[in-house]
Chain A
Amino acid sequence: MNDHHDQPLVHAYLAEVAQRTSALPDATRRELLANLREHIDVALAESDRADQETVRQILDRLGRPQAVADAALAEEGWPRAEAESPGRTTVTLGLIVLSLPLALIPAVGPVLALAATVTAVVRVWKSAQWVRKEKMQATLLLLSPVVVTPAIAVVLSLTASGVTPVALLAACAAAFCPPLVAAARLWRSAARIRTIGAIAEA
């Protein structure tokens, strides 16, 4: 009866709604997906046929995953994310990427790196391009080196070789991974919003 759960169309539809509502609280998002799944089940059960074409029609009436996701985000009081200029995004993400080489400058390095990171965090929060949840995650990842770098250094200093320059460099590189992940996620999300904006204006 419920063999349409294997339907690639239904699966892809729900997966896209899920992906585009990742900013919603988990319970709200689960409820939305459950409602959509139930709707598809019931609509199929009430239809005379259960072929691919019927499934397509049901999904068509539900509307584009983007429209459903936007409606869900709007209900939660989230303003629709608005793309900022690509240049502004590039500067923000550039500051994040720059903080590693900056950190390696003797003496003033860590201070410069911290300044670049804090500036990037402020720019992320000022932008309407990312939702709150994305901003929170990015902030944690971006500021993590402040804790992670000394932690790795302490671990290294407890090992036989002590804190060598190579070990310190390795610590910096490892600690720098979370900010890179943050930059990549912010970039992907920004690119997606620009694409949606371009489609809406077309």
Chain B
Amino acid sequence: MVPGEASYDSADGPVASQLRRGVLEYCVLALLRDGPRYGVELLQELAQVQVMATSQGTIYPLLSRLRRAGLAETYLRESASGPSRRYYTLTDDGRRALEEFTALWPAFRTAVDHFLNPGDLP
């Protein structure tokens, strides 16, 4: 495994996990934007970013939900090394959901910053 990866300590605070709950699925969709990824690969990329690092196993229920909601699809692909990998890929609906989130996010981010830094009033 990659040394120096973010720690997977699941004991992070309720604020961090609450925040993550809202945005994690869009981060996952964003990771799939440029092409299919298999589970282990996807989780490693998420873990590169400290604030998104969570117990890896908790992402699988999220991935299942994205699949059931028709935002992502999966398929198995043989691998030269070891077992077949299950790849996740964006559907058109998934791409639309990601676009919607991408469009909303800047205003959302600005609004939160606005409340957190009252001195910053425009």
User: In B13-60, which residues have CB < 8 Å from any A CB?
Assistant: 38-40, 43, 47, 54-58, 60
Q: How many residues of B contact A (CB 8 A)?
A: 25
B104 CB → nearest A CB, Å: 22
Q: A67-B10, A75-B62 known; A46 and B55 CB under 8 Å? A: no
Q: Decide yes or no whether A31 CB sits under 8 A from chain B.
A: yes
Q: Decide yes or no whether B95 CB sits under 8 A from chain A.
A: no
A39–B88 alpha-carbon span in the complex (Å): 13
Q: A63-B55, A64-B10, A67-B55 known; A45 and B61 CB under 8 Å? A: no
With a cutoff of 8 Å between Cβ atoms, the chain B residues found around residue A28 in the complex are 64
Closest to A28 in B: B64
User: In A20-72, which residues have CB < 8 Å from any B CB?
Assistant: 28, 31-32, 35-36, 38-39, 41-47, 57, 60-65, 67-68, 70-72
Chain A 1-36 interface 0/1 with B at a Cβ cutoff of 8 Å (1 = within): 110000000000000010000000000100110011
When the two chains form the complex, which single residue of A41, A46, A67 contacts B58, counting CB atoms closer than 8 Å? A67
Q: Decide yes or no whether B96 CB sits under 8 A from chain A.
A: no
With a cutoff of 8 Å between Cβ atoms, the chain B residues found around residue A72 in the complex are 60-61
Task: Name B residues whose Cβ lies closer than 8 Å to a Cβ of A.
Answer: 1, 8, 10, 38-40, 43, 47, 54-58, 60-65, 79, 81-83, 85-86
Task: Name A residues whose Cβ lies closer than 8 Å to a Cβ of B.
Answer: 1-2, 17, 28, 31-32, 35-36, 38-39, 41-47, 57, 60-65, 67-68, 70-72, 74-76
Query: Would you list 6 pairs from A and B whose C-beta atoms are within 8 A, ordered by A residue?
Result: A39-B60, A42-B38, A45-B82, A46-B82, A61-B8, A71-B58
